[in-house]
Amino acid sequence: MVTFYKERDRVGLETREKTSVCKPDIIVFDQPEQIDQYAADRVINQIQKKPNSVLTLPTGSTPEGMYKKLVDAYRQRKVSFKDATVINLDEYWPLDPNHPASYSTYMKKNFIDLVDIPLEKWHIPNSRAPDRNQEAARFERLFEEAGGVDLAVLGIGPGTTCHIGFNERGSAVNSRVRYVSLDPQTAMENSKKFPNPEDIPAGTITQGVANILEAEKIILLAKGVIKAKGVHLALEGPIGSDAPASFLRYHPNTTFVLDADAASKLKSS
């Protein structure tokens, strides 16, 4: 059992022999909508058990349905986020936070402005901070201040990027919050969300692999055949920086939540 993630022992993260490989749970649903419900239920259960939970949350196409279900549950008074803290995974840099394709805009539109989380408890890298390294250092301090993440919800990058957050290929297991340049496959896919695709910034400020692995529980959501290769590499390829999502196999409480297309390249499915 890996204990050093919980102890936040950064030296431990660098010491491979102290790690042990775990087998993530894998759930494959027939319909992508079932992923939305499962993910929303995990978040709701977490908040119901511990109202002041700290959540790491993703943006992107995959979790849109999860956010809709969370907002519905809030409107039906099944859950309140008033005591929760949200630390987003990442944000483009540099970019106007009010740009329609910024992750700040995404989060406000899909979640933050629609539920009762106090604004001061929502954290996302400042995409117009003048100095990206200083901004990364500020964001890093939030983890200590928040006292650790209870549940992290992740997506996975397209094609062979296998990124989590924006930890693109080459990211180390002990990487922490920092600026990362986008992989060309990521830039190609994500530029579709920009009114002018050429406006996509060259990089993001992202939680590092180590920040993600320190969460107590992790769920990774993947829908569609564009994620099949990454899911296969993450679960069945060698563990290493060539496929950053493979580092999730060092985490003792991770669940991959997939649709049939995303699971289609798994040998075991």
Contacts with ligand F6R, residue ranges (CB under 6 A): 58-62, 89-90, 103, 155, 157, 163-165
Q: What is the C-alpha to C-alpha distance for residues 240 and 243, in angstroms, rounded to an integer?
A: 6
Residue whose CB is less far from ligand F6R, 90 or 259 = 90
Residue whose CB is less far from ligand F6R, 46 or 207 = 207
How far apart are CB 157 and ligand F6R at their closest, in Å? 5
Residue whose CB is less far from ligand F6R, 61 or 174 = 61
For ligand F6R, the nearest residue by Cβ is 155
Residue whose CB is less far from ligand F6R, 81 or 166 = 166
Do the Cβ atoms of 153 and 63 come closer than 8 Å?
Answer: yes
Instruction: Please work out, in degrees rounded to the nearest 5, the angle formed at the alpha carbon of residue 223 by the alpha carbons of 125 and 73.
Output: 70
Distances (CA, A) of 61 to 58, 135, 211, 265: 10, 26, 23, 21
Nearest to 5 by CA among 23, 24, 19: 19
How far apart are CB 85 and ligand F6R at their closest, in Å? 17
Q: What is the C-alpha to C-alpha distance for residues 172 and 3, in angstroms, rounded to an integer?
A: 19
Cis peptide leading into residue 118 (ω within 30°): no
Q: What is the C-alpha to C-alpha distance for residues 188 and 215, in angstroms, rounded to an integer?
A: 30
Residue whose CB is less far from ligand F6R, 34 or 80 = 34
How far apart are CB 91 and ligand F6R at their closest, in Å? 8
How far apart are CB 20 and ligand F6R at their closest, in Å? 25
Residue whose CB is less far from ligand F6R, 32 or 115 = 32
Sheet architecture: strand order including 178-181: 90-93, 203-206, 178-181
How far apart are CB 61 and ligand F6R at their closest, in Å? 4
How far apart are CB 137 and ligand F6R at their closest, in Å? 20
